[in-house]
Amino acid sequence: MHSPLRSNRLTFLSLVLYCFIIINNVTTTTTTTTLTFHEAYSPLFSKFNIHPSPDDKTVRLLLNRFSGSGIISSDYYNYGFFSASIKMPSQHAAGIVVAFYTSNVDTFEKNHDELDIEFLGNIKGKPWRFQTNMYGNGSVSRGREERYRMWFDPTTHSHRYSILWTPTNIIFYVDNIPIREVVRTAGMRGDYPSKPMSVYATIWDASSWATDGGKEKVNYKYEPFVTEFKDLVLEGCIVDPTDQILSSNCTDNIAELMAKDYSNITSEGRKSMKWFREKYMYYSYCYDNIRYPVPPPECVIVPSERNLFKNSGRLRSKMKFHGSHHRRGRANRRRRNKNKGVSDV
Ligand SMILES: *[C@@H]1O[C@H](CO)[C@@H](O)[C@H](O)[C@H]1NC(C)=O
Ligand SMILES: *[C@@H]1O[C@H](CO)[C@@H](O)[C@H](O)[C@H]1NC(C)=O
Ligand SMILES: *[C@@H]1O[C@H](CO)[C@@H](O)[C@H](O)[C@H]1NC(C)=O
pTM equals 0.84
Distance, first Cα to last Cα, the chain: 30
CA 154 to chain centre: 13
Residue 261 has pLDDT above 70, yes or no: yes
Residue to probe by mutation, ligand 2, list 239, 242, 248, 256, most atoms within 8 Å of CB: 239
Residue 243 — very low, low, confident or very high, per pLDDT cuts 50/70/90? low
* Residues near ligand 1 (Cβ within 6 A): 111, 137-138, 189-190
Minimum-distance ligand 2 atom for the alpha carbon of 249: 1
Residue-level pLDDT at 229: 98
Calculate what percentage of the chain has a pLDDT beyond 90: 70
Residue 247 — very low, low, confident or very high, per pLDDT cuts 50/70/90? low
Residue 28 has pLDDT above 60, yes or no: no
SS (H, E, C) 173-198: EECCEEEEEEECCHHHHHHCCCCCEE
Minimum-distance ligand 1 atom for the alpha carbon of 136: 1
Which bound ligand lies closest to the C-alpha atom of 262? Answer: 3
Q: What is the DSSP letter of 263?
A: G
Residue-level pLDDT at 90: 84
Does 264 sit in the ligand 3 pocket, CB within 6 Å? yes
Residue 239 has pLDDT above 60, yes or no: yes
> Closest Cα partner for 341 from 130, 160, 183?
130
Minimum-distance ligand 1 atom for the alpha carbon of 191: 14
Secondary structure of residue 46 in the 3-state scheme: coil
Task: Report how far ligand 2's centroid is from the alpha carbon of 197 (Å).
Answer: 14
Tell me: the pLDDT tens digits for 38-83?
999 999 999 999 999 999 999 999 999 999 999 999 999 999 999 9
Task: Report how far ligand 2's centroid is from the alpha carbon of 73 (Å).
Answer: 15
Residue-level pLDDT at 18: 47
Which is higher by pLDDT, 33 or 343? 33
Dihedral Cα 252, 255, 261, 262, nearest 10 deg? 100
Residue nearest to atom 10 of ligand 3 (CA): 264
Q: What CATH number has the domain spanning 31-340?
A: 2.60.120.200
The domains of the chain are located at 31-340
What is the average per-residue pLDDT within 6-26?
44
Task: Report how far ligand 3's centroid is from the alpha carbon of 181 (Å).
Answer: 15
Residue-level pLDDT at 317: 85
- 152-157: Cβ within 8 A, 24+ apart: 152/14, 153/128, 154/86, 154/87, 154/88, 154/119, 154/128, 155/87, 155/88, 155/89, 155/90, 155/93, 155/128, 156/90, 157/87
What is the average per-residue pLDDT within 207-224?
84
Residue 1 has pLDDT above 50, yes or no: no
Residue 10 has pLDDT above 60, yes or no: no
